[in-house]
Amino acid sequence: MYTGRFAPSPSGPLHMGSLIAAAASWLDARAAGGRWLVRIEDLDRPRCMPGAADAMLRTLDRLGLHWDGEVLCQSRRLEHYRAALDKLARQTYWCGCTRREIADSSLGLASDGAHIYPGTCRHGTARKRALRVRTTAEPISFVDRVQGRCQQVLEQDIGDFVLYRADGLFAYQLAVVVDDAAQGITDVVRGADLLDSTPRQIYLQQLLGLPTPRYLHVPVALDTAGGKLSKQTAAAPIETDPCALRRALAFLGQSEAGTLDQALRGWDPQLILRRRAMALAP
Ligand code: GLU
């Protein structure tokens, strides 16, 4: 059965960017007669804002984006991430590099702006700062339902990436893979800022023997000045925008729809523009 999910990080109130992802994922799931789950990605404690998760859930509910079952919180699932790390023991190694050392030895910048890690500690180090997974030169490709064929060679485009930090933080890439599988997610619908994370997630699914869901990445909403709308740039919370849902639907190409019901009846993901980012109409 189709099972979709919305997986916000509770670092602030729901904003237009996250509403667009939530609406797309809800519509795609409900149009398929499927289930729609919500997962709170609250692993990075310093970035979580107290009360934000509850506020997001209230906003989803008020807009009619009702979810099925219990809301899963990543902060309560640490033993599952630990178990996945144990399974990956033969493919991981401790890295002792500081940020500065990584910047100095970097093979360049990955498309998400992070340094490509050259594998400095692959053959051992006495320092334990982060646990990395060994990547390979085997291309990883997938066909995104909106963005089309995407491919990365992880070793060259990303480098061995972090799964766990010695201060106790499990990485998003690991947690998302473990949780998507645990929740039986068949379809991931989310913002295209995560398109470049998808090959890493597919790689981990393969190493852990987990199924790969279908992916659909919607464009990231930019403000009219071309900047990313996000909690960090203090995009207005949608609570103060009575047209928020209609603007989100129009952004998704469903401009005939004024309400969620109409959007559901006419839902056509082919109308979503094949762009990584685009301006959100005021
Ligand atoms: N928690 C991530 C975010 O808020 C989304 C993760 C995902 O959908 O895979 O950006």
Q: What is the pLDDT of residues 114-137, one digit of tens each?
A: 899 999 999 988 889 999 999 999
User: For ligand 1, what atom is nearest to the CA of residue 11?
Assistant: 4
CB 281 within 8 A of CB 248: no
From 14, 172, 195, the mutation candidate for ligand 1 (largest count of ligand atoms within 8 A of CB) is: 172
Is 196 close to ligand 1, i.e. is its CB under 6 Å away? no
Question: Could you read off the pLDDT of 55-77 as tens digits, one per residue?
Answer: 999 999 999 999 999 999 999 99
Q: Domain spans of the chain? A: 3-75+220-279
Q: Whose CA is nearest to atom 6 of ligand 1?
A: 7
pTM of this prediction exceeds 0.85:
yes
| pLDDT for 236 | 65
Question: Could you read off the pLDDT of 192-225 as tens digits, one per residue?
Answer: 999 999 999 999 999 999 999 999 999 999 987 7
Q: Determine the Cα–Cα distance for residues 205 and 163; give it in Å rounded to an integer.
A: 13
Is 194 close to ligand 1, i.e. is its CB under 6 Å away? yes
Architecture of domain 3-75+220-279: 3-Layer(aba) Sandwich (3.40)
